[in-house]
């Protein structure tokens, strides 16, 4: 089951890394400037950073704000070195 085809295009399938992918979508029933996705973005990245140590160059974040749907896609490569993992 590959529910992450969205990322597949740019995957380089590194052999010695784990990967964490997050997709977030906010569908609005009415058009508005509700910015839920932006609000959640930093907090979700902070939650992830508590559990995984990654450098900035290993994090790829894409946001797309549409009238009806806003999306956030986060793609993180996690080195397998033991000390690269936070507790």
CB of 56 to a second copy, least distance (A): 19
- Residue ranges in 1-87 assigned as alpha helix (H): 5-8, 36-51
Q: Closest by alpha carbon to 28, among 63, 58, 81, 71?
A: 71
Which residue ranges make up the site for a second copy (CB under 8 A)? 1, 3-6, 14-30, 34, 36, 39-40, 43-44, 47-48, 50-52, 64, 71, 73, 80
CB of 12 to a second copy, least distance (A): 13
**Of residues 21 and 58, the one with the C-beta less far from a second copy:** 21
Q: For residue 51, what are the CA distances in angstroms to 10, 23, 25, 85?
A: 24, 18, 23, 7
| Alpha carbon distance 71, 2 (integer Å) | 19
CB of 10 to a second copy, least distance (A): 14
**Of residues 10 and 16, the one with the C-beta less far from a second copy:** 16
């Amino acid at each position: 089951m590959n529910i992450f085809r969205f990322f597949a295009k740019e995957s380089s399938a590194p052999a010695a890394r784990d990967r964490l992918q997050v997709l977030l979508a906010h569908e609005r029933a009415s058009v508005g400037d509700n910015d839920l996705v932006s609000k959640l973005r930093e907090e979700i990245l902070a939650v992830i950073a508590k559990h995984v140590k990654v450098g900035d160059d290993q994090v790829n974040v894409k946001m797309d704000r549409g009238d009806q749907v806003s999306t956030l896609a986060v793609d993180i490569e996690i080195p397998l070195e033991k000390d690269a993992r936070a507790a």
